[in-house]
Structure 1
Amino acid sequence: MPTSRAALRKKIASQTVIAPGVFDGLSARLADSAGFDALYLSGYGVSASQLAKPDNGFLTLPDMQMRIETICAAISTPLISDADTGFDDVGATVQAYEKAGAAGIQIEDQQVPKICGHIPGREVITRAAAVARITDAVAARQDPDFLIVARTDAREQKGIDEAIERGRLFAEAGADILFIESPENEDEFCKIGAALGDMPLLANMVEGGRSPLIPRAKLVEMGFNFIIYPVAAIAASAAALDAAYQHLRDSEPSGQRVNFQELSRMVGFPEK
Protein backbone atom coordinates (compact mmCIF):
# COMPACT_ATOMS: atom_id res chain seq x y z
CA MET A 1 0.00 0.00 0.00
CA PRO A 2 1.17 3.57 -0.60
CA THR A 3 3.13 5.55 1.95
CA SER A 4 1.43 8.26 3.97
CA ARG A 5 -0.51 11.08 2.35
CA ALA A 6 1.12 13.47 4.80
CA ALA A 7 4.54 12.67 3.37
CA LEU A 8 3.41 13.57 -0.15
CA ARG A 9 1.74 16.76 1.06
CA LYS A 10 5.01 17.77 2.71
CA LYS A 11 7.04 17.04 -0.42
CA ILE A 12 4.74 19.03 -2.67
CA ALA A 13 4.98 21.99 -0.30
CA SER A 14 8.78 22.00 -0.31
CA GLN A 15 10.19 20.42 -3.49
CA THR A 16 9.55 19.44 -7.09
CA VAL A 17 7.55 16.25 -7.55
CA ILE A 18 7.58 14.31 -10.83
CA ALA A 19 4.65 11.94 -11.38
CA PRO A 20 4.48 9.56 -14.35
CA GLY A 21 1.17 8.36 -15.67
CA VAL A 22 0.15 4.80 -14.81
CA PHE A 23 -2.88 2.93 -16.09
CA ASP A 24 -2.98 -0.59 -14.60
CA GLY A 25 -1.38 -2.76 -11.94
CA LEU A 26 1.74 -3.69 -13.91
CA SER A 27 2.49 -0.18 -15.15
CA ALA A 28 2.05 1.11 -11.60
CA ARG A 29 4.35 -1.54 -10.14
CA LEU A 30 7.08 -0.71 -12.67
CA ALA A 31 6.73 3.02 -11.99
CA ASP A 32 6.78 2.30 -8.27
CA SER A 33 10.03 0.37 -8.67
CA ALA A 34 11.56 3.26 -10.62
CA GLY A 35 11.49 5.43 -7.51
CA PHE A 36 9.16 8.37 -8.19
CA ASP A 37 7.71 10.48 -5.37
CA ALA A 38 4.16 10.15 -6.74
CA LEU A 39 2.22 8.40 -9.47
CA TYR A 40 -0.67 9.77 -11.52
CA LEU A 41 -3.66 7.75 -12.70
CA SER A 42 -5.25 9.45 -15.71
CA GLY A 43 -8.77 8.92 -16.95
CA TYR A 44 -7.31 8.80 -20.45
CA GLY A 45 -5.13 5.83 -19.49
CA VAL A 46 -7.91 3.91 -17.78
CA SER A 47 -10.42 4.59 -20.55
CA ALA A 48 -7.93 3.43 -23.17
CA SER A 49 -6.59 0.38 -21.34
CA GLN A 50 -9.82 -0.87 -19.78
CA LEU A 51 -12.49 0.17 -22.27
CA ALA A 52 -10.52 0.81 -25.49
CA LYS A 53 -12.47 4.06 -25.69
CA PRO A 54 -11.46 7.73 -25.78
CA ASP A 55 -11.32 9.94 -22.70
CA ASN A 56 -14.78 11.31 -23.41
CA GLY A 57 -16.91 10.58 -20.35
CA PHE A 58 -17.26 6.81 -20.69
CA LEU A 59 -15.67 5.97 -17.33
CA THR A 60 -17.78 5.50 -14.19
CA LEU A 61 -16.91 5.91 -10.55
CA PRO A 62 -16.81 2.10 -10.01
CA ASP A 63 -14.37 1.80 -12.94
CA MET A 64 -11.97 4.25 -11.35
CA GLN A 65 -12.44 3.06 -7.78
CA MET A 66 -11.64 -0.53 -8.76
CA ARG A 67 -8.58 0.55 -10.72
CA ILE A 68 -7.32 2.63 -7.78
CA GLU A 69 -7.76 -0.32 -5.42
CA THR A 70 -5.88 -2.62 -7.81
CA ILE A 71 -3.00 -0.19 -8.22
CA CYS A 72 -2.70 0.77 -4.56
CA ALA A 73 -2.45 -2.92 -3.62
CA ALA A 74 0.62 -3.18 -5.86
CA ILE A 75 2.60 -0.05 -4.92
CA SER A 76 4.13 1.91 -2.07
CA THR A 77 4.25 5.26 -3.91
CA PRO A 78 1.37 7.71 -3.31
CA LEU A 79 -1.17 7.83 -6.14
CA ILE A 80 -3.02 10.92 -7.37
CA SER A 81 -6.06 9.97 -9.44
CA ASP A 82 -8.11 11.78 -12.04
CA ALA A 83 -11.83 11.99 -11.26
CA ASP A 84 -12.93 13.99 -14.31
CA THR A 85 -15.96 16.11 -13.30
CA GLY A 86 -16.67 14.17 -10.11
CA PHE A 87 -19.10 11.55 -11.47
CA ASP A 88 -22.27 13.50 -10.55
CA ASP A 89 -21.48 13.52 -6.81
CA VAL A 90 -18.14 15.10 -5.96
CA GLY A 91 -18.38 14.36 -2.24
CA ALA A 92 -19.13 10.68 -2.72
CA THR A 93 -16.32 10.43 -5.27
CA VAL A 94 -13.79 11.97 -2.89
CA GLN A 95 -14.71 9.52 -0.16
CA ALA A 96 -14.62 6.58 -2.59
CA TYR A 97 -11.12 7.56 -3.75
CA GLU A 98 -9.94 7.95 -0.16
CA LYS A 99 -11.31 4.53 0.75
CA ALA A 100 -9.67 2.98 -2.32
CA GLY A 101 -6.26 4.21 -1.16
CA ALA A 102 -5.51 7.24 -3.33
CA ALA A 103 -3.43 10.08 -1.89
CA GLY A 104 -5.37 12.70 -3.80
CA ILE A 105 -8.03 13.45 -6.38
CA GLN A 106 -8.24 15.71 -9.41
CA ILE A 107 -11.53 17.50 -10.11
CA GLU A 108 -12.10 19.60 -13.24
CA ASP A 109 -14.62 22.23 -14.35
CA GLN A 110 -15.73 20.80 -17.68
CA GLN A 111 -19.32 20.21 -18.62
CA VAL A 112 -20.60 16.64 -18.82
CA PRO A 113 -19.63 14.66 -20.82
CA LYS A 114 -16.03 15.78 -20.50
CA ILE A 115 -13.38 15.61 -23.23
CA CYS A 116 -9.65 14.97 -22.91
CA GLY A 117 -7.94 18.24 -22.03
CA HIS A 118 -5.79 18.21 -25.15
CA ILE A 119 -8.65 17.63 -27.61
CA PRO A 120 -10.52 20.66 -29.03
CA GLY A 121 -14.13 21.34 -28.13
CA ARG A 122 -14.13 21.51 -24.34
CA GLU A 123 -16.84 23.50 -22.57
CA VAL A 124 -16.70 24.55 -18.93
CA ILE A 125 -19.35 25.19 -16.31
CA THR A 126 -19.82 28.58 -14.67
CA ARG A 127 -17.30 29.96 -12.20
CA ALA A 128 -19.71 29.51 -9.31
CA ALA A 129 -20.46 25.90 -10.23
CA ALA A 130 -16.76 25.17 -10.70
CA VAL A 131 -15.89 26.58 -7.29
CA ALA A 132 -18.75 24.59 -5.75
CA ARG A 133 -17.18 21.36 -7.01
CA ILE A 134 -13.94 22.19 -5.21
CA THR A 135 -15.75 23.35 -2.07
CA ASP A 136 -17.66 20.07 -2.01
CA ALA A 137 -14.46 18.07 -2.49
CA VAL A 138 -12.69 19.83 0.37
CA ALA A 139 -15.68 19.39 2.68
CA ALA A 140 -16.04 15.70 1.88
CA ARG A 141 -12.53 14.47 2.57
CA GLN A 142 -12.06 12.56 5.80
CA ASP A 143 -8.26 12.72 5.90
CA PRO A 144 -7.00 16.33 5.97
CA ASP A 145 -3.86 15.21 4.13
CA PHE A 146 -5.87 13.87 1.18
CA LEU A 147 -4.91 16.24 -1.65
CA ILE A 148 -7.45 18.11 -3.77
CA VAL A 149 -6.14 18.97 -7.24
CA ALA A 150 -8.36 21.60 -8.86
CA ARG A 151 -8.22 21.76 -12.64
CA THR A 152 -9.70 24.30 -15.00
CA ASP A 153 -10.16 23.79 -18.74
CA ALA A 154 -11.26 27.39 -19.29
CA ARG A 155 -8.20 28.34 -21.35
CA GLU A 156 -9.55 27.02 -24.66
CA GLN A 157 -12.89 28.83 -24.77
CA LYS A 158 -12.47 31.69 -22.29
CA GLY A 159 -8.77 32.56 -22.39
CA ILE A 160 -5.82 32.38 -20.04
CA ASP A 161 -6.97 35.24 -17.79
CA GLU A 162 -10.24 33.48 -16.99
CA ALA A 163 -8.35 30.25 -16.35
CA ILE A 164 -6.04 32.02 -13.91
CA GLU A 165 -8.96 33.67 -12.13
CA ARG A 166 -10.60 30.28 -11.70
CA GLY A 167 -7.35 28.96 -10.27
CA ARG A 168 -7.33 31.81 -7.75
CA LEU A 169 -10.91 31.03 -6.74
CA PHE A 170 -10.10 27.32 -6.41
CA ALA A 171 -7.27 28.21 -4.03
CA GLU A 172 -9.68 30.29 -1.94
CA ALA A 173 -12.05 27.31 -1.88
CA GLY A 174 -9.35 25.14 -0.30
CA ALA A 175 -7.67 23.35 -3.22
CA ASP A 176 -4.18 22.05 -2.45
CA ILE A 177 -2.78 22.01 -6.00
CA LEU A 178 -3.85 24.16 -8.96
CA PHE A 179 -3.95 22.76 -12.48
CA ILE A 180 -4.47 25.16 -15.39
CA GLU A 181 -4.95 22.76 -18.29
CA SER A 182 -3.28 23.20 -21.69
CA PRO A 183 -1.59 26.61 -21.73
CA GLU A 184 -0.64 27.09 -25.37
CA ASN A 185 2.82 28.68 -25.12
CA GLU A 186 5.63 29.37 -22.68
CA ASP A 187 4.42 32.91 -22.05
CA GLU A 188 1.15 31.52 -20.70
CA PHE A 189 3.03 29.14 -18.40
CA CYS A 190 5.03 32.13 -17.12
CA LYS A 191 1.84 34.14 -16.59
CA ILE A 192 0.30 31.30 -14.57
CA GLY A 193 3.40 30.98 -12.43
CA ALA A 194 3.55 34.72 -11.78
CA ALA A 195 -0.13 34.91 -10.82
CA LEU A 196 -0.50 31.70 -8.82
CA GLY A 197 3.03 30.71 -7.84
CA ASP A 198 2.37 30.99 -4.11
CA MET A 199 0.36 27.75 -4.50
CA PRO A 200 1.59 24.33 -5.64
CA LEU A 201 1.15 24.34 -9.42
CA LEU A 202 0.76 21.33 -11.69
CA ALA A 203 2.22 21.25 -15.20
CA ASN A 204 0.78 18.65 -17.56
CA MET A 205 3.31 17.50 -20.17
CA VAL A 206 1.53 15.62 -22.96
CA GLU A 207 3.66 14.65 -25.95
CA GLY A 208 1.85 15.98 -29.02
CA GLY A 209 -0.72 17.83 -26.91
CA ARG A 210 -1.83 21.46 -26.95
CA SER A 211 0.92 22.65 -24.61
CA PRO A 212 4.62 22.84 -25.49
CA LEU A 213 6.93 20.31 -23.85
CA ILE A 214 9.04 22.40 -21.48
CA PRO A 215 12.16 21.11 -19.70
CA ARG A 216 11.60 20.42 -16.01
CA ALA A 217 14.19 22.92 -14.83
CA LYS A 218 12.45 25.67 -16.79
CA LEU A 219 9.03 24.69 -15.43
CA VAL A 220 10.41 24.95 -11.91
CA GLU A 221 11.80 28.41 -12.69
CA MET A 222 8.33 29.40 -13.91
CA GLY A 223 6.79 28.33 -10.59
CA PHE A 224 5.56 24.79 -11.27
CA ASN A 225 6.52 22.10 -8.78
CA PHE A 226 4.22 19.17 -9.58
CA ILE A 227 4.95 17.87 -13.08
CA ILE A 228 3.00 15.01 -14.61
CA TYR A 229 3.55 12.93 -17.75
CA PRO A 230 0.15 11.23 -17.97
CA VAL A 231 0.37 9.46 -21.34
CA ALA A 232 4.11 8.85 -21.77
CA ALA A 233 3.96 5.26 -20.52
CA ILE A 234 0.71 4.21 -22.17
CA ALA A 235 1.85 5.69 -25.50
CA ALA A 236 5.12 3.75 -25.25
CA SER A 237 3.20 0.62 -24.28
CA ALA A 238 0.83 0.99 -27.23
CA ALA A 239 3.76 1.34 -29.62
CA ALA A 240 5.47 -1.74 -28.16
CA LEU A 241 2.29 -3.82 -28.26
CA ASP A 242 1.51 -2.81 -31.82
CA ALA A 243 5.04 -3.69 -32.95
CA ALA A 244 4.95 -7.03 -31.10
CA TYR A 245 1.62 -8.06 -32.63
CA GLN A 246 2.68 -7.00 -36.13
CA HIS A 247 5.94 -8.93 -35.77
CA LEU A 248 4.17 -12.01 -34.39
CA ARG A 249 1.65 -11.98 -37.24
CA ASP A 250 4.39 -11.83 -39.87
CA SER A 251 7.09 -13.92 -38.23
CA GLU A 252 8.13 -15.39 -34.90
CA PRO A 253 8.00 -13.64 -31.50
CA SER A 254 10.26 -10.59 -31.42
CA GLY A 255 13.37 -10.62 -29.28
CA GLN A 256 12.64 -7.07 -28.14
CA ARG A 257 10.99 -7.95 -24.86
CA VAL A 258 11.75 -8.91 -21.28
CA ASN A 259 12.30 -12.63 -20.86
CA PHE A 260 9.73 -14.81 -19.12
CA GLN A 261 11.73 -14.99 -15.90
CA GLU A 262 11.98 -11.21 -15.70
CA LEU A 263 8.28 -10.80 -16.43
CA SER A 264 7.47 -13.34 -13.74
CA ARG A 265 9.60 -11.39 -11.28
CA MET A 266 7.79 -8.16 -12.18
CA VAL A 267 4.40 -9.65 -11.32
CA GLY A 268 5.58 -11.10 -8.03
CA PHE A 269 6.68 -14.69 -8.52
CA PRO A 270 9.46 -15.49 -6.03
CA GLU A 271 12.94 -15.77 -7.47
CA LYS A 272 14.53 -19.22 -7.30
Structure 2
Amino acid sequence: MTDTRLRDKLATKQFFAVPGVQDMIAATVADRVGFDIVYGTGYWLTASAYGLPDAGIVGYSQMVDRMATVKRTSKAALIADADTGYGGLLNVHHTVRGYEAVGVSAIQLEDQEFPKKCGHTPYKRVIAAQDMADKIKVAVEARESMLVIARTDARQSEGLDGTLRRLDAYAKAGADILFPEALQSEEEMRKVCETFDLPVLVNIANGGLTPPLNASVLAEIGFAFGIYPSLTSLVAASAMEQALIQLRDHGVGEPSEPPVFDFRTFCSMIGFEDVWAFDRKWGQAD
Protein backbone atom coordinates (compact mmCIF):
# COMPACT_ATOMS: atom_id res chain seq x y z
CA MET A 1 0.00 0.00 0.00
CA THR A 2 1.35 3.41 -1.01
CA ASP A 3 2.32 5.68 1.89
CA THR A 4 0.71 9.04 1.09
CA ARG A 5 1.76 10.97 4.20
CA LEU A 6 4.35 13.10 2.44
CA ARG A 7 1.98 13.96 -0.41
CA ASP A 8 -0.76 14.70 2.11
CA LYS A 9 1.46 17.08 4.08
CA LEU A 10 2.56 18.88 0.94
CA ALA A 11 -1.09 19.31 -0.07
CA THR A 12 -1.80 21.26 3.12
CA LYS A 13 0.78 23.89 2.07
CA GLN A 14 1.82 24.16 5.72
CA PHE A 15 5.54 24.12 6.48
CA PHE A 16 6.81 21.02 8.30
CA ALA A 17 10.15 19.89 9.72
CA VAL A 18 11.80 16.59 8.79
CA PRO A 19 14.63 15.33 11.04
CA GLY A 20 17.53 13.42 9.64
CA VAL A 21 18.21 9.96 11.03
CA GLN A 22 21.77 8.68 11.07
CA ASP A 23 21.06 5.31 12.66
CA MET A 24 18.27 3.17 14.02
CA ILE A 25 18.43 4.75 17.48
CA ALA A 26 17.69 8.15 15.93
CA ALA A 27 14.88 6.60 13.87
CA THR A 28 13.37 5.05 16.99
CA VAL A 29 13.60 8.28 18.98
CA ALA A 30 12.01 10.23 16.10
CA ASP A 31 9.10 7.77 16.25
CA ARG A 32 8.80 8.26 20.01
CA VAL A 33 8.74 12.05 19.65
CA GLY A 34 6.04 11.83 16.97
CA PHE A 35 7.65 12.69 13.63
CA ASP A 36 5.76 10.95 10.84
CA ILE A 37 8.30 11.81 8.11
CA VAL A 38 12.06 11.35 8.44
CA TYR A 39 15.04 11.98 6.18
CA GLY A 40 17.54 9.23 5.39
CA THR A 41 20.67 11.34 5.16
CA GLY A 42 23.51 10.07 3.02
CA TYR A 43 26.19 11.98 4.96
CA TRP A 44 25.21 10.73 8.39
CA LEU A 45 24.11 7.19 7.52
CA THR A 46 27.51 6.81 5.83
CA ALA A 47 29.32 8.23 8.84
CA SER A 48 27.44 6.10 11.36
CA ALA A 49 27.68 2.80 9.46
CA TYR A 50 31.12 3.06 7.89
CA GLY A 51 32.97 5.94 9.52
CA LEU A 52 33.55 7.47 6.08
CA PRO A 53 32.99 10.95 4.63
CA ASP A 54 30.11 11.76 2.29
CA ALA A 55 32.28 11.73 -0.83
CA GLY A 56 30.73 9.08 -3.06
CA ILE A 57 32.69 6.26 -1.42
CA VAL A 58 29.65 4.27 -0.29
CA GLY A 59 27.62 2.91 -3.20
CA TYR A 60 24.08 1.95 -4.15
CA SER A 61 23.97 -1.53 -2.61
CA GLN A 62 25.16 -0.27 0.78
CA MET A 63 22.82 2.72 0.82
CA VAL A 64 19.68 0.92 -0.32
CA ASP A 65 20.33 -1.59 2.46
CA ARG A 66 20.63 1.24 4.99
CA MET A 67 17.40 2.83 3.72
CA ALA A 68 15.62 -0.52 3.93
CA THR A 69 16.76 -0.86 7.54
CA VAL A 70 15.51 2.64 8.39
CA LYS A 71 12.16 1.81 6.81
CA ARG A 72 11.85 -1.44 8.74
CA THR A 73 12.75 0.30 11.98
CA SER A 74 10.74 3.48 11.67
CA LYS A 75 7.00 3.98 11.47
CA ALA A 76 7.55 7.22 9.54
CA ALA A 77 7.45 7.92 5.83
CA LEU A 78 11.01 8.08 4.49
CA ILE A 79 12.65 10.68 2.26
CA ALA A 80 15.88 9.09 1.04
CA ASP A 81 19.10 10.64 -0.20
CA ALA A 82 20.33 8.83 -3.32
CA ASP A 83 23.26 11.10 -4.20
CA THR A 84 23.76 11.23 -7.99
CA GLY A 85 21.78 8.06 -8.61
CA TYR A 86 25.10 6.17 -8.40
CA GLY A 87 26.07 6.56 -12.04
CA GLY A 88 24.45 7.17 -15.41
CA LEU A 89 20.87 6.92 -16.61
CA LEU A 90 20.64 3.13 -16.26
CA ASN A 91 21.96 3.41 -12.70
CA VAL A 92 19.35 6.06 -11.91
CA HIS A 93 16.59 3.78 -13.23
CA HIS A 94 17.88 0.91 -11.07
CA THR A 95 18.28 3.15 -8.01
CA VAL A 96 14.74 4.50 -8.24
CA ARG A 97 13.28 1.00 -8.57
CA GLY A 98 15.40 -0.27 -5.69
CA TYR A 99 14.57 2.59 -3.32
CA GLU A 100 10.88 2.36 -4.05
CA ALA A 101 10.92 -1.40 -3.52
CA VAL A 102 12.08 -0.94 0.09
CA GLY A 103 9.31 1.57 0.84
CA VAL A 104 10.91 4.99 0.27
CA SER A 105 8.33 7.78 -0.20
CA ALA A 106 10.60 10.29 -1.97
CA ILE A 107 14.02 9.95 -3.57
CA GLN A 108 16.52 12.81 -3.71
CA LEU A 109 18.86 13.06 -6.70
CA GLU A 110 21.55 15.70 -7.18
CA ASP A 111 23.44 17.20 -10.10
CA GLN A 112 27.00 16.77 -8.89
CA GLU A 113 29.67 14.91 -10.78
CA PHE A 114 30.42 11.43 -9.47
CA PRO A 115 31.95 10.96 -6.96
CA LYS A 116 29.90 13.60 -5.18
CA LYS A 117 30.73 15.61 -2.06
CA CYS A 118 28.71 16.87 0.88
CA GLY A 119 26.70 19.91 -0.25
CA HIS A 120 28.20 22.20 2.38
CA THR A 121 31.86 21.40 1.67
CA PRO A 122 34.17 22.88 -1.00
CA TYR A 123 35.29 21.67 -4.44
CA LYS A 124 31.93 20.45 -5.68
CA ARG A 125 31.51 20.06 -9.44
CA VAL A 126 28.19 19.79 -11.27
CA ILE A 127 27.28 17.95 -14.45
CA ALA A 128 25.60 19.64 -17.42
CA ALA A 129 22.07 20.78 -16.66
CA GLN A 130 20.66 18.74 -19.55
CA ASP A 131 22.35 15.60 -18.25
CA MET A 132 20.67 16.10 -14.89
CA ALA A 133 17.34 16.85 -16.54
CA ASP A 134 17.66 13.51 -18.33
CA LYS A 135 18.26 11.80 -14.98
CA ILE A 136 15.07 13.37 -13.63
CA LYS A 137 13.11 12.19 -16.68
CA VAL A 138 14.42 8.65 -16.20
CA ALA A 139 13.57 8.76 -12.49
CA VAL A 140 10.04 9.97 -13.11
CA GLU A 141 9.45 7.26 -15.71
CA ALA A 142 10.93 4.54 -13.46
CA ARG A 143 8.97 5.32 -10.29
CA GLU A 144 5.47 4.09 -9.60
CA SER A 145 4.26 6.58 -6.99
CA MET A 146 7.40 7.75 -5.19
CA LEU A 147 8.11 11.50 -5.34
CA VAL A 148 11.26 12.71 -7.09
CA ILE A 149 13.31 15.49 -5.49
CA ALA A 150 15.74 17.36 -7.77
CA ARG A 151 18.68 18.94 -5.95
CA THR A 152 21.15 21.34 -7.49
CA ASP A 153 24.57 22.08 -6.05
CA ALA A 154 25.25 24.85 -8.57
CA ARG A 155 25.21 27.77 -6.10
CA GLN A 156 28.93 27.38 -5.44
CA SER A 157 30.05 27.41 -9.07
CA GLU A 158 27.23 29.13 -10.99
CA GLY A 159 25.72 31.48 -8.42
CA LEU A 160 22.05 32.06 -7.80
CA ASP A 161 21.23 32.61 -11.49
CA GLY A 162 22.67 29.23 -12.41
CA THR A 163 20.77 27.65 -9.54
CA LEU A 164 17.49 29.11 -10.80
CA ARG A 165 18.12 28.03 -14.39
CA ARG A 166 18.87 24.49 -13.31
CA LEU A 167 15.86 24.23 -11.03
CA ASP A 168 13.67 25.45 -13.89
CA ALA A 169 15.08 22.73 -16.18
CA TYR A 170 14.55 20.06 -13.53
CA ALA A 171 10.99 21.22 -12.91
CA LYS A 172 10.27 20.96 -16.63
CA ALA A 173 11.81 17.46 -16.61
CA GLY A 174 9.14 16.37 -14.13
CA ALA A 175 10.58 16.79 -10.63
CA ASP A 176 7.98 16.90 -7.88
CA ILE A 177 10.06 18.86 -5.34
CA LEU A 178 12.98 21.25 -5.86
CA PHE A 179 16.04 21.40 -3.61
CA PRO A 180 18.45 24.34 -3.94
CA GLU A 181 21.44 23.25 -1.86
CA ALA A 182 23.66 25.62 0.13
CA LEU A 183 21.87 28.92 -0.44
CA GLN A 184 23.79 31.59 1.42
CA SER A 185 21.32 34.28 2.45
CA GLU A 186 17.69 34.90 3.28
CA GLU A 187 17.42 36.96 0.09
CA GLU A 188 18.50 34.00 -2.03
CA MET A 189 16.06 31.77 -0.21
CA ARG A 190 13.19 34.16 -0.90
CA LYS A 191 14.12 34.48 -4.58
CA VAL A 192 14.01 30.73 -5.15
CA CYS A 193 10.65 30.30 -3.41
CA GLU A 194 9.15 33.24 -5.31
CA THR A 195 10.28 31.80 -8.65
CA PHE A 196 8.69 28.35 -8.55
CA ASP A 197 5.21 26.96 -8.00
CA LEU A 198 6.53 23.52 -7.12
CA PRO A 199 7.30 22.72 -3.47
CA VAL A 200 10.79 23.85 -2.49
CA LEU A 201 12.66 22.30 0.44
CA VAL A 202 15.40 23.88 2.52
CA ASN A 203 18.34 22.07 4.08
CA ILE A 204 19.18 23.38 7.55
CA ALA A 205 22.58 21.78 8.06
CA ASN A 206 24.11 22.74 11.40
CA GLY A 207 27.38 24.50 10.66
CA GLY A 208 26.56 24.69 6.95
CA LEU A 209 26.26 27.62 4.56
CA THR A 210 22.50 28.21 4.71
CA PRO A 211 21.23 30.53 7.48
CA PRO A 212 19.59 28.39 10.21
CA LEU A 213 16.37 30.38 10.32
CA ASN A 214 13.50 29.47 12.61
CA ALA A 215 10.79 27.29 11.08
CA SER A 216 8.29 30.15 11.31
CA VAL A 217 10.56 32.30 9.12
CA LEU A 218 11.15 29.48 6.65
CA ALA A 219 7.38 29.06 6.36
CA GLU A 220 6.91 32.78 5.73
CA ILE A 221 9.62 32.73 3.06
CA GLY A 222 7.66 30.03 1.24
CA PHE A 223 9.46 26.74 1.76
CA ALA A 224 7.29 23.63 1.79
CA PHE A 225 9.43 21.87 4.38
CA GLY A 226 12.87 21.76 5.90
CA ILE A 227 15.22 18.85 6.40
CA TYR A 228 17.53 18.83 9.42
CA PRO A 229 20.03 16.11 8.49
CA SER A 230 22.78 16.81 11.02
CA LEU A 231 20.81 17.72 14.13
CA THR A 232 20.52 14.34 15.85
CA SER A 233 24.03 13.29 14.84
CA LEU A 234 25.81 16.38 16.16
CA VAL A 235 23.75 16.50 19.36
CA ALA A 236 24.49 12.81 19.96
CA ALA A 237 28.21 13.26 19.24
CA SER A 238 28.39 16.17 21.66
CA ALA A 239 26.57 14.27 24.40
CA MET A 240 28.77 11.20 23.92
CA GLU A 241 31.92 13.29 24.09
CA GLN A 242 30.81 14.97 27.32
CA ALA A 243 29.88 11.64 28.92
CA LEU A 244 33.14 9.97 27.90
CA ILE A 245 35.21 12.87 29.20
CA GLN A 246 33.49 12.51 32.57
CA LEU A 247 34.19 8.76 32.53
CA ARG A 248 37.84 9.27 31.56
CA ASP A 249 38.58 12.08 34.00
CA HIS A 250 36.28 11.33 36.94
CA GLY A 251 35.16 7.71 36.64
CA VAL A 252 31.54 8.83 36.36
CA GLY A 253 29.43 6.24 34.55
CA GLU A 254 26.05 7.69 35.47
CA PRO A 255 26.32 11.42 34.65
CA SER A 256 23.60 13.95 35.37
CA GLU A 257 24.76 16.17 32.46
CA PRO A 258 24.10 15.13 29.79
CA PRO A 259 21.27 13.09 31.31
CA VAL A 260 21.20 9.36 30.63
CA PHE A 261 18.13 8.05 28.80
CA ASP A 262 16.09 5.63 30.89
CA PHE A 263 17.28 2.11 30.09
CA ARG A 264 13.93 0.38 30.66
CA THR A 265 12.19 2.86 28.38
CA PHE A 266 14.82 2.34 25.70
CA CYS A 267 14.44 -1.44 25.91
CA SER A 268 10.71 -1.01 25.30
CA MET A 269 11.30 1.37 22.39
CA ILE A 270 13.42 -1.12 20.48
CA GLY A 271 11.09 -4.08 21.01
CA PHE A 272 12.16 -5.93 24.12
CA GLU A 273 8.57 -5.98 25.39
CA ASP A 274 7.79 -8.40 22.55
CA VAL A 275 10.85 -10.49 23.37
CA TRP A 276 9.85 -10.74 27.04
CA ALA A 277 6.25 -11.62 26.09
CA PHE A 278 7.57 -14.38 23.80
CA ASP A 279 9.74 -15.74 26.62
CA ARG A 280 6.80 -15.80 29.02
CA LYS A 281 4.56 -17.53 26.47
CA TRP A 282 7.08 -20.29 25.76
CA GLY A 283 8.24 -20.82 29.31
CA GLN A 284 11.63 -19.20 28.92
CA ALA A 285 11.13 -16.44 31.49
CA ASP A 286 12.80 -18.22 34.43
Please state which band the TM-score falls in when normalised by the shorter chain.
over 0.9
Aligned to 2:56: 57
Cα distance in structure 1, aligned partners of 2:180 and 2:262: 42
Residue of structure 1 in register with 2:168 after alignment: 168
Secondary structure at 1:158 match in 2: helix
Equivalent residue letter for 1:199: L
Q: Which whole-Å CA distance do the structure 2 matches of 1:263 and 1:7 have between them? A: 27
Q: TM-score, normalised by structure 2?
A: 0.89
Report the equivalent of 2:37: 38
Task: Look up the match of 2:112.
Answer: 110
**TM-score, normalised by the number of residues in structure 1:** 0.94
Listed as ranges, the matches of 1:73-88 within 5 Å are 73-88=72-87
Letter in 2 for 1:123: R
Segment of structure 1 superposing worse, 241-250 or 99-108: 241-250
249-258 vs 74-83, which moves further: 249-258
What is the Cα deviation at residue 4 of structure 1?
4.2
- Superposed displacement of residue 228, structure 1: 0.7
One-letter amino acid of the structure 2 residue matched with residue 164 of structure 1: L
1:192 CA drift (Å): 0.5
After the TM superposition, which residues 66-77 of structure 1 pair with which residues of structure 2 at under 5 Å, given as runs? Answer: 66-77=65-76
Task: Report the identity percentage.
Answer: 39
Aligned-partner Cα distance in 2 for 1:259–1:80 = 29
Q: Which amino acid aligns with 2:253?
A: P
1:258 aligns with 261
What is the rounded CA distance, in whole Å, between the counterparts of 2:200 and 2:100 in structure 1?
22
Which residue number corresponds to residue 238 of structure 2? 239
CA distance in 2, matches of 1:6, 1:266: 25
Q: SS at 2:212's partner residue? A: coil
Q: Which residue of 1 aligns with 2:193?
A: 193
CA contact (8 A) 2:201 2:227 kept: yes
Aligned mates of 1:171, 1:69 — CA distance in 2: 28
Aligned equivalents of 1:246, 1:51: Cα separation in 2 = 24
Contact 1:177 1:200 in 2 (8 A): yes
Kindly indicate whether the alpha-carbon contact (under 8 Å) linking 2:16 and 2:226 is maintained by their aligned counterparts in 1: yes
**1:270 counterpart residue number:** 273
CA contact (8 A) 2:167 2:180 kept: yes
Q: Partner residue of 1:98?
A: 100
TM-superposed deviation, 1:34:
1.4
Q: Which moved more, 1:29-38 or 1:88-97?
A: 29-38
Residue type matched to 2:176 in 1? D
**Distance in structure 1 (CA, Å) of the matches to 2:242 and 2:2:** 39
Which position in structure 1 is the counterpart of 2:132?
Answer: 130
Inter-partner Cα distance in structure 2 for 1:229 and 1:97: 21
Partner-residue secondary structure (3-state), 1:81: strand
- Bigger drift between 61-70 and 225-234 goes to 61-70
Structure number with bigger Rg: 2
Partner of 1:10: 8
2:279 corresponding residue in structure 1: none
2:57 is paired with a residue of what secondary structure?
Answer: coil
1:28–1:75 contact (8 Å) kept in structure 2: yes
1:80 is matched by which residue type in structure 2?
Answer: I
Corresponding letter in the other structure for 2:164 = I
Instruction: Indicate conservation of the 8 Å contact 1:202/1:224, yes or no.
Output: yes
RMSD of aligned alpha carbons = 1.5
Instruction: Report deviation, 1:262.
Output: 2.1
Shift of 1:211: 0.9
Contact kept, 8 Å, 2:160 with 2:188, in 1: the verdict is yes
Gaps (5+ residues) in structure 1?
A: none
Instruction: Name the SS of the counterpart of 1:18 in structure 2.
Output: strand
- Paired AA for residue 3 in structure 2: R
Structure-1 separation of matches of 2:239 and 2:270: 19
Return the offset for 1:18.
1.3
Deviations 1:80-109 (A, max 9, x none): 010000011111001110111111110000
Corresponding residue SS for 1:67: helix
Which stretches of structure 1, 4 residues or longer, exceed 3 Å deviation after superposition? none
Aligned counterpart, 2:182? 182
Contact 2:178 2:200 in 1 (8 A): yes
